[in-house]
Structure 1
């Protein structure tokens, strides 16, 4: 069971998230906080696996709270969930130690997938945020022909969709596969290419003209 702490200054948002997670079967909401200071305190008390963190809150904001939480408890994963999809918030919270950045209009299935991936040690981003990160990363890649990819045709299809920012459930639906099968393909591509996370996979897909 994945233990999640919800941090948002809007009670209705927290209520909706709690309903979503409690219906999942594998995610347990262990606490709620209406601000950053309460979140820092509750992480020490509850030791959640994942903190779903709003960014703009009165008092201690989400970026500062993320920095304190990740410094004190590196094993706790912090996922930013915000209305403000801009580079200022994106890179500020990533520099503070967050493992992902999602916007609040993220579909429920994609949000659940992001929490599961975060708990597994992966990173998770909304499609628009991932595109900006990849674009910035690709501009620093040396010019030249990339080496051939040692992956299968199906793995190339999965890699292309990862590069397009699709979540595992979306890839499964697009390719008519099970989510577990998609996870297996993603793990295989990571192992074969040495990519440690989905950001590197997405950059790889762009470098090879797959996305």
Structure 2
């Protein structure tokens, strides 16, 4: 599942992951609140989470998701390392800067799944 308030970025992440036969994007959410609702429906193994979103940010959404679904892995995708430590304290599994190469996202997701 991909959570980001930027529609273009959600689409790019989905398109980057689509060729990977062992990875499937089960949902796209534009906010932390939407992510909570969608996770209950699609039961993702991994969530790719933006940190900077209006209303419920990625740190708060991560905290709620990990509390509800203890086996869930969260890969934080962010433009800045400023709040990454907060995301890890909330239960994030890994992080990646938005400007990182696309192949790194696949690697981080696979590492997150392997850590289950």
TM-score, length-scaled by structure 2: 0.96
Cα deviation 1:164-201 (Å, max 9, x = unaligned):
xxxxxxxxxxxxxxxxxxxxxxxxxxxxxxxxxxxxxx
Name the residue aligned to 2:102.
Answer: 108
Name the residue aligned to 1:68.
Answer: 64
Matches within 5 A, 1:25-64: 25-64=21-60
Cα deviation 1:90-136 (Å, max 9, x = unaligned):
110000000011110111111101101101117xxxxxxxxxxxxxx
3-state SS of the aligned residue for 2:75? strand
2: distance between equivalents of 1:83 and 1:117? 21
Q: Going by fraction, where is helix more abundant, 1 or 2? A: 1
Cα deviation 1:126-173 (Å, max 9, x = unaligned):
xxxxxxxxxxxxxxxxxxxxxxxxxxxxxxxxxxxxxxxxxxxxxxxx
2: distance between equivalents of 1:44 and 1:120? 22
3-state SS of the aligned residue for 1:52? strand
Higher relative contact order (Cα pairs below 8 Å, separated by 6+ residues): 2
Name the residue aligned to 2:73.
Answer: 77
2: distance between equivalents of 1:25 and 1:105? 24
Name the residue aligned to 1:15.
Answer: 11
Report how far residue 45 of structure 1 moved: 1.2
2: distance between equivalents of 1:18 and 1:42? 16
How many correspondences in the alignment? 116
TM-score, length-scaled by structure 1: 0.54
3-state SS of the aligned residue for 2:53? coil
Of structures 1 and 2, the larger Rg is shown by 1
Report the aligned-residue RMSD. 1.0
**Which runs of at least 4 in structure 1 moved beyond 2 Å after TM superposition?**
none
